[in-house]
Amino acid sequence: MNRVINVDLGEQSYNIHIGKECLPSLAGLLAGVPRGSRSILVSDDIVFRLYGEQFYEILQSAGLKIEVAVLAGGESCKNLETLGWLYEQMISKGLDRQSTVFALGGGVVGDIAGFAAASFMRGIGYIQLPTSLLAQVDSSVGGKTGVNLSLGKNLVGAFYQPSLVFADVNLLNTLAEKEYQTGLAEVIKYGVIWDSKLFDYLETNIESIKARDMDCLIHIISRCCEIKAEIVAQDEKEKGLRALLNLGHTFGHAFEALTEYKKFTHGQAVAIGMVYATRLAAATDMINEQDAKRVTDLIKNYGLPLHYGDIRPSEIVARMHLDKKNTGGKITLVLPAAIGRSEIVGEIDPAQIEAILI
Amino acid sequence: MNRVINVDLGEQSYNIHIGKECLPSLAGLLAGVPRGSRSILVSDDIVFRLYGEQFYEILQSAGLKIEVAVLAGGESCKNLETLGWLYEQMISKGLDRQSTVFALGGGVVGDIAGFAAASFMRGIGYIQLPTSLLAQVDSSVGGKTGVNLSLGKNLVGAFYQPSLVFADVNLLNTLAEKEYQTGLAEVIKYGVIWDSKLFDYLETNIESIKARDMDCLIHIISRCCEIKAEIVAQDEKEKGLRALLNLGHTFGHAFEALTEYKKFTHGQAVAIGMVYATRLAAATDMINEQDAKRVTDLIKNYGLPLHYGDIRPSEIVARMHLDKKNTGGKITLVLPAAIGRSEIVGEIDPAQIEAILI
Ligand SMILES: NC(=O)c1ccc[n+]([C@@H]2O[C@H](COP(=O)([O-])OP(=O)(O)OC[C@H]3O[C@@H](n4cnc5c(N)ncnc54)[C@H](O)[C@@H]3O)[C@@H](O)[C@H]2O)c1
Ligand SMILES: NC(=O)c1ccc[n+]([C@@H]2O[C@H](COP(=O)([O-])OP(=O)(O)OC[C@H]3O[C@@H](n4cnc5c(N)ncnc54)[C@H](O)[C@@H]3O)[C@@H](O)[C@H]2O)c1
Ligand SMILES: [Zn+2]
Ligand SMILES: [Zn+2]
């Protein structure tokens, strides 16, 4: 039996299904997909090779007229060119206003395919089939879609909700170790910002989680999705609360950008960012030393990095100023107040940030 | 004093201001535009040369930090490339999440700049300053934004509402005659589908309207905006009623496409489309002969064309099948039932359409 989590957004509400070896149950969830129009399965090269045929057959057996579009994959293809190419595929393969896009892959596929669905004929149907841990706990939920510009990440996009998110944890077996770790960084984030019980669970089950135990994964993915669903339901368009999900990200984006997206995966950068956000919170007595140590220890115990290497602190702070969450001159950050509780702190003095960047 | 029309869309509600020589009043309407972030004035080459400086100064005098982006203009620039270029301008000129886009121009500028505003950082502020008659009566109201693909018009976009529409009828003085006529076709459309009084007014004031009398223009533009506002408030995302605004357009799009967008302006094609929609309605006794004649006469009296020339009727019908409003195999059309009243008619037999295409 799948775990089912509802994302409560009025008319845009939808369910997230999480299970193991649950692919056959997907067909039964597609009653709302119009059969008269073509659907398209969008994936990347790696994921399509592994799972494309299986999903294609399920969708076909559900009675859908299904077309396929396979992207090169990777962050470097998440751009306007790929989007333009995808639109052309959608037109030439005969999609219309009643069509549905299925996004099969990690966050890259989900973000591009989601934005294509949001904007093709001003919005068509859209279903997420996340295959990476990061996508299952984060990017497939909440409706942020978009692409990068050469001048910055995720600068173009839409808030656009899928009608269904369907995650089979078995797919994670084939995920590369560093991609798995990237997802774990986001999982830890949920524990720190929102849920001390999840944090405890992550502390006590390190070995089984590292070994990708399916039941552990169902537990933590469900919990992360519940948390994200709760936050998004209260603040769909990121006007307040939703910003909590950015813990570690303002630092992290700076680390990623200053190493040209080569040295760290996103999750590694976020993990280091959480270490420094925690250090800043400790330096200002927002969080006690014991909780701060638990955050850093957990990150270390999952094999995630703790330090950004040899970047100059002044450059990091300068880059953090550019972050799109900062609308004036000052820096706003999410900082942990305790395990399971965090706050959005505005008007932070850049010198204070530079002081803890050691 | 400006005429003010409210478009009632809950949280997305906004006002349309229509007046003559009313530019100075614009500054006073910008209280809601954040001063801490940069704004951008987007226009096309022709309009910017005529009015760019004037608007720039008004926006600056209102205390805005205003940047400028000038597009080549014309339908052929309403594409993903121009959009990508515009995003780059927006980033490199320092726009952020609190920024506002001002669209100064006809429907082309409004559609591109509107979609850029809808998608830049997942949605920033957006104000329409329509300068063509078509934009003042139609494209600037209702929140449809988007661009063309090489495979078809308006295939990519978003429903995204501006926070203000501001139209000065004096700007129409410099509009080329054929562009003015194009707008008049849409004005006639509103009379036919919704408002017999507007239709009467168009019949009785032909000479002053042709001469672009400012008070006549304020009257008809206000009325068209009221009608569009009423329809859009009831059906923002075109699930039903809003389709009435497509009277003449399914035919029209076929005429435009089959002559490679060279022979007819959009309004000319729509005018011919209304003639044939009316003929089809008369052939099926939906509209009486007298009303049908009034529609055709009014179109003729405004100097708009009545016939599509030497295209093969079978090609027209084939092309109409492709229209994105047709989701199954059959053809759905808006047909007039009387002056001021129209209906969406589904399941139309293609042979019946071909029969009246003479
Ligand atoms: N929309 C959101 O709310 C949101 C949130 C967080 C991140 N993101 C975006 O998500 C992207 C990162 O997502 P990601 O980490 O999933 O990256 P990704 O999509 O590039 O996937 C990482 C790699 O894993 C491969 N892969 C995916 N599933 C696999 C599987 N089951 N087996 C084997 N290989 C598999 C992919 O082919 C890819 O090579 C970024 O672009 C980021 O901006 C979006
Ligand atoms: N979004 C909608 O709801 C909607 C509705 C209808 C049409 N449209 C779109 O609108 C576009 C057509 O709009 P349009 O007819 O305004 O075309 P346009 O924007 O190309 O303007 C027509 C020409 O008139 C010039 N012009 C505009 N204002 C002028 C002025 N005051 N003085 C002198 N010249 C001026 C322009 O530079 C251009 O050369 C099409 O792309 C169509 O798809 C959108
Ligand atoms: Zn992240
Ligand atoms: Zn039109």
pLDDT digits 0-9 by tens, B306-354:
999 999 999 999 999 876 555 556 799 999 999 999 999 999 999 999 9
pLDDT at B51: 98
The C-alpha angle A293, A299, A301, rounded to 5 degrees, equals 95
pLDDT of B238 reads 83
With beta carbons less than 8 A apart as the criterion, state whether A331 and A350 touch: yes
- Count of other CB atoms within 10 angstroms of residue A214: 17
Terminal Cα distance for chain A, rounded = 48
pLDDT mean by block of 10 residues, chain A; 358 residues: 93 96 96 95 98 98 98 96 98 95 98 98 98 98 96 94 98 97 98 98 98 98 97 89 95 95 95 98 97 98 97 94 64 96 94 93
pTM: 0.95
Burial profile A173-205: b = 16 or more Cβ within 10 angstroms, e = fewer? eebeeebbbbbbbbbbbbbbbbbeebbebbeee
DSSP 8-state assignment for residue A325: T
Task: Supply the pLDDT for residue A327.
Answer: 54
How many whole angstroms from A187 Cα to the centroid of ligand 2? Answer: 49
Count of Cβ atoms closer than 10 Å to residue B295 Cβ: 25
SS3 A167: strand
Which contiguous run of DSSP H or E holds residue B251? helix B249-258
Residues of chain B contacting A151 with CB distance shorter than 8 Å: 88, 91-92
- Report the residue from A83, A151, A327 with minimal CB separation from B37: A327
**Which of B39, B119, B126 is the mutation pick for testing A, counting most A CBs within 10 A?**
B119
- The parts of chain B modelled with pLDDT lower than 70 are 323-329
Set out the domains of chain B in order of their start, with CATH numbers. Answer: 3-174 (3.40.50.1970), 177-356 (1.20.1090.10)
Candidates A36, A84, A156; nearest CB to B119: A156
Q: Taking CB atoms and an 8 Å cutoff, what residues of chain A touch B83?
A: 80
Cα–Cα dist B244/A91, whole Å:
25
Contact B119 A37 (CB under 8 A): no
What is residue B248's predicted lDDT score, i.e. its pLDDT? 98
pLDDT value of position B348 = 93
Ligand 1 centroid–CA A141 distance in Å is: 13
* Residue-level pLDDT at B36: 92
Residue of minimum CA distance from atom 7 in ligand 2: B139
For the CA of A141, the nearest atom of ligand 1: 3
Q: Is B130 in the pocket of ligand 2 (CB under 6 A)?
A: no
Interface contact flag, B119 A150, Cβ < 8 Å: no
pLDDT at A329: 64
Q: How far apart are CA B78 and CA A166, in angstroms?
A: 37
By three-state DSSP, how is residue B326 classified?
coil
**How far from chain centre, in Å, is Cα B161?**
14
Model pLDDT, residue B124: 98
- Separation of alpha carbons B171 and B215, rounded Å: 13
Judge if ipTM > 0.85: yes
A155–B contact, CB cutoff 8 A: yes
Residue in A92, A115, A151 closest to B88 by CB: A151
